[in-house]
């Protein structure tokens, strides 16, 4: 359990600084590419050497750090880090026959480069770690932060999830069937009955601590599991709700990570069927696309819904659009194997 006080997100939609969730930005060449800001807080000499994932992570994290002051740790979840720079470095090895290589691409390509750059730019020498667990990367970062706060109850931690669309990784995933063959709009994502989703990317950052005062949201619990068995997932979800939903409280919004892939839609439907008829069901991956740490974007979105208490109509799958949301259950599924439940409540 922990409290979220600030959140910041760079994504394919207008989510940085002035948020506009009503206007949908559509894919370009079958990819939902992030709308990158000017990154005014990053020195130009450092910015031009950064890969996209690092730019998004640092760009979303630095505004929080500057407004907060010293942190007790920086905890990042990412599946691929700076994959584009990694491939550039590997190509250099071939190009220069393993000779003298430029170190820039190598330094920017490691998965811990996002957390490292945030630490360097902010002068933070405290706990600094990156979790790399594919579709559970962000969830492990959240659980790490929760454990850190048990040891250091007065601490403040920056927690985030970041992944980019790299050309190489996109091509590999496309060949593996992760993305749709059809050139569709994100407005059609849930109506096209076919395998795959739309590639996406984003960076979302959160300031978390144990202080209830002025918090935007309370993270009640996080749970992860690996399974291809629908019944196991349903059973674990029921146990999760029973264990962590406060007595007398109900789930107001089931925030689904449904991604338009007809091969795994049955998991989402099974979990939705466990919800009472009064529970509103909404989807979010037509906003950000599919990528391993999409649950970070979903968590940022939950915080925004708590702030605004306004659910955009294009997100609604079932239930009431105009209702007060006090408890939001986020369910995400990555490749039909990695499942996660995140329960958040309005402070």
Class of domain 2-209: alpha beta
Sign of CA dihedral 307, 73, 67, 69: positive
pLDDT at 109 over 80: no
Q: Residue 266: in which H helix or E strand, if any?
A: helix 265-272
pLDDT in tens, 170-199: 988 999 999 999 999 999 999 999 999 999
What pTM, to 2 d.p., does this model score?
0.94
Mean pLDDT (the chain) is 93
CA distance 290 to 222: 20
Helix (H) or strand (E) holding 167: helix 167-175
On the question of pLDDT at 325 being above 90, the answer is yes
Q: Which CATH architecture has domain 217-346?
A: 3-Layer(aba) Sandwich (3.40)
- CB-neighbour burial class of residue 184 (10 A; exposed 0-12, middle 13-18, buried 19+): middle
Q: What is the mean pLDDT of residues 113-125?
A: 94
- In the chain, CATH 3.40.47.10 covers 2-209, 217-346
Nearest one of 75, 158, 143 to 112, comparing CA atoms: 75
């Amino acid at each position: 359990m922990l409290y979220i006080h600030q959140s910041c997100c760079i994504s394919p939609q207008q989510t940085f600084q002035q948020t506009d969730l009503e206007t949908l930005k559509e894919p370009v060449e079958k990819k939902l590419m992030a709308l990158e800001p000017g990154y005014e807080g990053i020195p130009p000499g450092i910015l031009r050497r950064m890969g996209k994932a690092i730019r998004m992570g640092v760009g979303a994290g630095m505004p929080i750090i500057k407004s907060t002051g010293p942190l007790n740790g920086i905890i990042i979840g990412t599946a691929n880090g700076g994959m584009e720079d990694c491939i550039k470095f590997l190509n250099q090895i071939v190009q220069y026959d393993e000779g003298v290589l430029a170190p820039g691409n190598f330094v920017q390509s490691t998965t811990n480069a996002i957390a490292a750059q945030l630490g360097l730019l902010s002068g933070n020498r405290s706990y600094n770690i990156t979790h790399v667990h594919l579709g559970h990367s962000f969830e492990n970062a959240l659980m790490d932060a929760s454990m850190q706060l048990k040891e250091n109850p007065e601490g403040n931690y920056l927690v985030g999830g970041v992944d980019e669309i790299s050309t190489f990784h996109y091509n590999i995933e496309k060949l593996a069937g992760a993305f749709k063959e059809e050139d569709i709009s994100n407005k059609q994502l849930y109506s096209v009955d076919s395998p795959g989703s739309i590639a996406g990317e984003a960076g979302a950052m959160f300031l978390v601590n144990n202080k209830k005062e002025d918090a935007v949201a309370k993270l009640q619990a996080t749970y992860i599991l690996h399974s291809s068995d629908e019944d196991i997932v349903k059973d674990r979800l029921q146990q999760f709700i029973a264990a962590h939903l406060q007595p007398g409280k109900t789930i107001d919004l089931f925030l689904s990570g449904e991604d338009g892939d007809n091969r795994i839609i049955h998991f989402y439907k099974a979990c939705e069927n466990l919800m009472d008829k009064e529970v509103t069901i909404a989807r979010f991956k037509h906003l950000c696309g599919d990528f391993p740490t999409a649950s970070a974007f979903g968590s940022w979105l939950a915080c925004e819904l708590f702030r605004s208490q306004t659910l955009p109509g294009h997100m609604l799958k079932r239930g009431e659009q105009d209702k007060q949301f006090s408890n939001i259950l986020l369910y995400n599924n990555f490749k039909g194997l990695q499942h996660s439940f995140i329960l958040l409540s309005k402070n």
